[in-house]
A and B are shown apart, each in its own frame.
Chain A
Amino acid sequence: QSALTQPASVSGSPGQSITISCMGISSDFVNYKLISWYQQRPGKAPKLIIYEATERPSGVSNRFSGSKSGNTASLTISGLQTEDEADYYCCSYAGSSSTLYVFGAGTHVTVL
């Protein structure tokens, strides 16, 4: 599993929906839902917001949703709010005997 590709930045106005893609995931890993998404606000630790490609941990807003298709996973933020301005990272199983996981380079979301 090589590096995962994410757009460097995405922006939207309050109330809009935005989608962040994560490309280059092995189709097998997509099928088995070995994908997660993290939100990281400035100066804070990452927070898990989507696991198994589409599931939300308890306490995470339902404005966050995950989807998958082919070699790509996507994160959609609906009803964009100023508090959503942060960096977002996808992460996938790497499938190596040594390296277990690989992160995408991250996407900065700006709320205009």
Chain B
Amino acid sequence: EVQLLESGGGLVQPGGSLRLSCEASQFSFHNYAMSWVRQAPGKGLEWVSAISASGESTYYADSVKGRFTLSRDNSKNTLSLQMNSLRAEDTALYYCAKDLGVDRYGYPDFDFGGQGTLVTVSA
């Protein structure tokens, strides 16, 4: 069973930074594209960012583009989301997710293997 352990969330002031991590296990991490999906309190799901299996390609929602940077270390089975210039509207539970299969570009099939990490942006 896919296991994804998100960490790094916490309370940060507006304009501050946080770095989220996702530690993957029980699958061949280097073969799969990965994404972050977030959910504001009491709200729906929002896709945030994705990275190709190799790490060469990254994609961002317009709401975070220019502020968030996604990277991965395939030698350590780890995904990282650097979040800068944080805003109140970035407050959410952040989920790490793997693609359902390999070479699934364009197919929104996510396997959520963890419980998320909570980011709260507040003064």
Q: Looking at chain A's contact residues, is the secondary structure mostly helix, strand, loop, or mixed? A: strand
Q: Which of A25-48 contact B (CB under 8 A)?
A: 32-36, 38, 40, 45-48
**Contact status of A99 and B60, CB under 8 A, knowing A45-B95, A89-B44:** yes
- In the complex, how many residues of chain B place their beta carbon closer than 8 angstroms to a beta carbon of chain A? 25
With the chains together, A46 CA to B94 CA distance in Å? 12
At the interface, yes or no: A84 with Cβ under 8 Å from chain B? no
Q: Which residue of B lies closest to A107 (CB)?
A: B44
Are B62 and A98 interface neighbours, CB within 8 A?
A: yes
- B44 touches which of A48, A52, A106 (Cβ 8 Å): A106
CB distance from A4 to the nearest CB of B (A): 10
A-side interface residues, number (CB < 8 Å): 28
Which residues of the partner chain A approach B62 to less than 8 Å between Cβ atoms? 98-99
Identify the closest chain A residue to B107 (Cβ).
A34
Considering the complex, give the chain A residue whose CB is closest to the CB of B100: A51
Contact of A46 among B59, B106, B110 (CB under 8 A): B110
Please, how many angstroms separate the alpha-carbon atoms of A36 and B95 in the complex?
A: 17
B9 CB-CB contact with A under 8 Å: no
* Those of B56-74 within 8 Å (CB) of chain A: 59-62, 65
Contact yes or no, A36 B109, CB < 8 A: yes
- A103 near B45 with CB under 8 A, answer yes
Whether, in the assembled complex, A102 has its beta carbon less than 8 Å from a beta carbon of chain B, the answer is yes
Shortest C-beta distance, B58 to chain A (Å), equals: 9
Contacts of A87 in B (CB 8 A): 44
Given the known inter-chain contacts A46-B112, A47-B112, A98-B65, please indicate yes or no for A34 contacting B45, CB distance below 8 A. Answer: no
B-to-A contact residues, CB < 8 Å: 35, 37, 44-47, 50, 59-62, 65, 95, 100, 106-116
